Structures are given as structure tokens and as C-alpha cells.
Structure 1
Amino acid sequence: MSRITENTAFQCEHCGAGVAAVTNGSFRNHCPFCLYSKHLDNEPGDRLSTCRGIMRPIQIDYSGKKGYQIIHECNKCGKKQRNKAAVNTIQEDDILRFMKALNQY
């Protein structure tokens, strides 16, 4: 599967929101509203995971190289993964609301 076909709109399996493909040249793998994701990768972008569990956002981290990252944990198998927050695009990630809920901001 090419990265171009991965950058498509989808419906969030957690909150049901319609999620648009990003427009900033990157790729989206999580909902910009509830920040939930789906466990699709063993390694970033490979789409080889057979788990397919829902991944809940558990923390926000900041890296000088990659910017804000959402840390997800799979509700099914427990795997943790980092994902870059979507910024400068249609439907930017609502990380401020999430940070306030975690008392990180």
C-alpha cells in the first residue's frame, strides 16, 4: 500500500466523527477530535498489525525535532506508540483540550 492511499478520510471508530485527510503533506492515523487511533502498525507505516484494537491517547509529549506527539496505548494488546500531532492542516488535532484534561497545560 502506498503512503498516498493511506492519507484518506475515515470515520473514527471511537467517537464516530468524520475525519478528513490532512492537507499539510503528512499522514493522519488518529481522530483530531478525541485523538483515538487504531492499532494498524507494528512499525510506523507498515500496516502489518493483526491486533486492530482501538488505541486511546494517554499522554502528550514534545520533541524539538518532531513537535507535539500523542502517545497512544492499545486497549486490546497494550502496545504504546507515538504519533505526531497534526498541525497546519484541515481539522488540526485538539491537543490543548486533551492537555487540559490531563492537567499538563
Structure 2
Amino acid sequence: MSRLTENTAFQCENCGARVMPLTNGSFRNHCPFCLFSKHLDDHPGDRSSICSGLMRPIRLDYSGKKGYQIVHECLKCGKLQRNKVARDTVQEDNILSLMTTTAYSLN
């Protein structure tokens, strides 16, 4: 599968937002509005998971090499996965606020 066919627009299954593809050569792996993702990979980028569960953001980590990463937990199978925050996602100082809002809305 090519980057062009994988990097497509989608409708977020959590908040319903229409999410456009990234144009900087990266893959989009989460909704920039609610930070939810979908369990599509067994290993980063392979798109081989048969789970397809919704993945909620549970924590934000920071790495000097990769920057901010959202830790997602699959609501179907429980897998934990880190995803680099997309460049067009809310400003970095607003990510923690969005994570807190999202976490409260899950309970």
C-alpha cells in the first residue's frame, strides 16, 4: 500500500469530525479534535490489525527525539500504543487541556 492511498480523509468514529489528511508527508493516526485513534496497526504503519477498535487517549508523553506522543488504549482489546502528535493538532500547550477534557468525558 502506498503513502498516498493510506493518507486519506476520514470521519472520526468518536466525535464525528471530518478529518483531512496531512500534507507534510506524514501519516495521520488520530483525530486532531478529540485525539482518538483507531487500532489499525500491529506494528507502527503495517495496517495489519484485525481489531479495528477505537483507541482513546490516556496519557501524553514527551520524547526529545519524537516530541509529544499520545498514548492510546484500545477500547476493544486493551493494546497500548504511542502515536506522535500530528503537527496540525491543537497547539502543544493546549494538548494537555484537551487530554483532560477527553479523559473526563470518558468517565
Report TM bin, short chain: 0.7 to 0.9
CA deviations over 1:47-71 (Å, ceiling 9, x no partner):
1101110000000000000000000
Count of residues in correspondence between the two structures: 99
| Residue of structure 2 equivalent to 1:28 | 28
CA contact (8 A) 2:58 2:99 kept: no
Tell me if 1:53 matches 2:53. Answer: yes
Q: Following TM superposition, where does structure 1 have runs of at least 4 consecutive aligned residues deviating by more than 2 angstroms?
A: 96-102
CA contact (8 A) 2:60 2:96 kept: no
| Larger relative helix fraction | 2
Runs (5+) with no aligned partner, structure 1 = none
Q: State the SS of the aligned residue for 1:27.
A: coil
TM-score by length of 2: 0.84
- Aligned mates of 1:79, 1:52 — CA distance in 2: 11
- Aligned mates of 1:85, 1:65 — CA distance in 2: 13
Structure 1 residues 9, 42: CA separation in 2 closer, same or farther (over 3 Å shift)? same
Runs (5+) with no aligned partner, structure 2 = none
TM-score by length of 1: 0.86
CA deviations over 1:30-55 (Å, ceiling 9, x no partner):
10010000100000111110111000
Percent of residue pairs bearing the same amino acid type: 71
CA RMSD, Structure 1 to Structure 2 (Å): 1.6
